[in-house]
Chain A
Amino acid sequence: MKKHRFRFSRKAFAYPYMIFLLLFVVVPLVIILINAFLDDANKFTFANFAEFFSDAGGGLTVLGNSLIIGLVTTVICLVIGYPCAYLLAKYHASSKVLVLLFILPMWVNFLIRTLSTKAIFMALDVKLGMGTVLFGMVYNYLPYMILPLHTTLVSIDHSYIEAAEDLGADRMTVFLRTVLPLSTSGIVSGVTMTFIPAISTFAISEILSSSKIFLFGDAINMHFSKTTNSFGVGSVMSLVMLVLVIVANVIVNLTSKDDEGVSAL
């Protein structure tokens, strides 16, 4: 009897937060969903979806461009970041400070870093445009790629690699058939941590292209600003973004299924 009462009272500690989540996470997203089906006079309509998916306001084009820029950013980050994470795990597994140095820029406000790079580009007379935006993106998101990759690579059991070597695999084969497959979950989560923020960020492209390059995050921002006030289409775009996020996370969960026991959940 006593035990039963105590279990009930401990569970009760979760209730306030469950209500909080419902109110401030779930309900706002539901409102966005409802908004997507409302016109200016709050009447039910599909016009917002029609406007977005017919590319009348250019929203679909912006999404396309953002996906391309996000993809290029992610690929560059992976190409630079994977060797970093790999070499760190191979040669500096015991040196946490060095790893930390790669992660620390994450914690310095991205606006400060982005504006600093812009000032340097301007002083060097570099023309602001696609090149500078991509540089800024890679510069910002590289630590987000390295962190999950490093976590996965460091936790690979070294005996797998030794076993592969003992069985006669050369170094290339060991890497391609042992290390790379074992780090898939790190690659997927690094790619998500780079790709999703890269397509939806705003400010980086705005600052580093002098507002010439417009990304999906900027577009959502614009639709919700006071001057344009087209919440309906903005809501549709937010939903599209949400779908992308969910798809990305389903993929992450599928690939990391094996180490679920290790993770926090």
Chain B
Amino acid sequence: MKRKGLIGRICADGYLGLVLALLYLPILLIIIFSFSGTSRFSFSDGVTLDSYRQLFDPELNAGLLSALKYTAILAVSASVISTILGAFSTIGIYALGRRMKKITLTVNQLPMINSEVVMAVSLMVFFAAFSFIFPQGMTRLIISHVAFCTPYVILSILPRLQRMDPNMYEAALDLGANPFSAMIKVVFPYIMPGIVSGFAMAFTLSLDDFIITQFNKGDTGIETLSTYIYEDARVKSLEPFWFAVFSIFFVVMFTLLLLMNIRKTSKEVHQ
């Protein structure tokens, strides 16, 4: 029986390893062959850092740098705005009556469940109809990113707020705090973990978005990383330059996410 369990476990790990290999093989291959200086997946030219050197070629990196700049501006502003909007709204939604709360949370779910293409075209048509209020460019992009990020912020704060003892807020009022300082000093610290994870989620969602940005960037020449990759690498095939960019991206993303999550889990264990 014990041996059977062991064999079962080895088979299980083998299967899990196989699926992980499938998930990571393309990524690993790109990283390995980013050192080949070609996009032929062979080391016929030997090991070289040519693809990485191209990153510093001003002719090749101009588009990329501008895309990175816009991606960063958009991700930071969208995530900050949706975190602030989300944090206050969650407190408000929590205090709403049963019916209004249900309606608001249902509509709040729409951007999360809706197909991205539909959300993207609906915003595009909306902005076009009211183009005199919403100028093309960053305004539209920030609004649309806030629209699809805030629901996630709210849903990451709400469970924490629901677990909070309402007496804590009342106690602060009884001890002489006004509602505003009770909010800042008692409610916010309590829901802070939800706010932080909501912010992280909003930031990554905005960073990662392609479809909604693609439809709403207009023709002001604004490209984010996603749309720039789409415009450039789809037309030409993947050049060595992109191998280097992707490799750096993979490594940075994975390290950040692993660190973030490991910190989170170890914190949860301590609590």
Interface residues of B in 124-178 (CB under 8 A from A): 124-126, 129, 143-144, 146-147, 150, 154-155, 158-159, 162, 173
Residues in A neighbouring B150, C-beta threshold 8 A: 17, 20
Chain A interface: which size bin?
A: 35 or more
Q: A6-B179, A101-B20, A245-B115 are in contact. Are A119 and B237 (CB under 8 A)?
A: yes
- Minimum CB–CB distance from B79 to chain A (whole Å) comes to 14
A102 x B20 contact (CB < 8 A): yes
Q: A13-B89, A87-B15, A202-B117 are in contact. Are A25 and B111 (CB under 8 A)?
A: yes
Q: A105-B24, A120-B41, A202-B117 are in contact. Are A24 and B147 (CB under 8 A)?
A: yes
A16 x B95 contact (CB < 8 A): no
B27 x A108 contact (CB < 8 A): yes
A14 x B89 contact (CB < 8 A): yes
Chief secondary structure at chain B's binding surface: helix
- Nearest residue (CB) in B for A2 is B173
A109 x B258 contact (CB < 8 A): no
Task: Check A18 for interface membership: any CB of B closer than 8 A.
Answer: yes
Name the segment of A51-59, A160-168, A180-188, A216-224 touching the other chain. A216-224
Residues in A neighbouring B15, C-beta threshold 8 A: 83-84, 87
**When chains A and B are docked, how far (Å) is the Cα of A207 from the Cα of B211?**
14
A224 x B261 contact (CB < 8 A): no
Task: Check B91 for interface membership: any CB of A closer than 8 A.
Answer: yes
A20 x B147 contact (CB < 8 A): yes
Q: A11-B95, A28-B126 are in contact. Are A111 and B226 (CB under 8 A)?
A: yes
Between-chain CB contacts (< 8 Å), 25 pairs: A7-B95, A9-B179, A13-B88, A16-B89, A17-B85, A21-B108, A25-B111, A28-B119, A28-B123, A31-B126, A87-B12, A87-B15, A98-B16, A100-B258, A105-B27, A108-B249, A120-B29, A123-B40, A197-B116, A201-B116, A203-B234, A206-B234, A242-B115, A242-B118, A264-B159
Q: Which residues of B contact A (CB under 8 A)?
A: 9, 12-13, 15-16, 19-20, 22-24, 26-27, 29-30, 39-42, 85-86, 88-89, 91-96, 104-105, 107-111, 113-119, 121-126, 129, 143-144, 146-147, 150, 154-155, 158-159, 162, 173, 179, 204, 208, 210-211, 215, 225-226, 229-230, 233-234, 237-238, 242, 246, 249-250, 253-254, 257-258, 261-262, 265
Q: Which residues of A contact B (CB under 8 A)?
A: 6-7, 9-18, 20-22, 24-29, 31-32, 35, 80, 83-84, 87-88, 90-92, 96-98, 100-102, 104-105, 107-113, 115-120, 122-124, 139, 142-143, 196-197, 200-203, 206-207, 217, 220-221, 224, 231, 234-235, 238, 241-242, 244-245, 248-249, 264-265
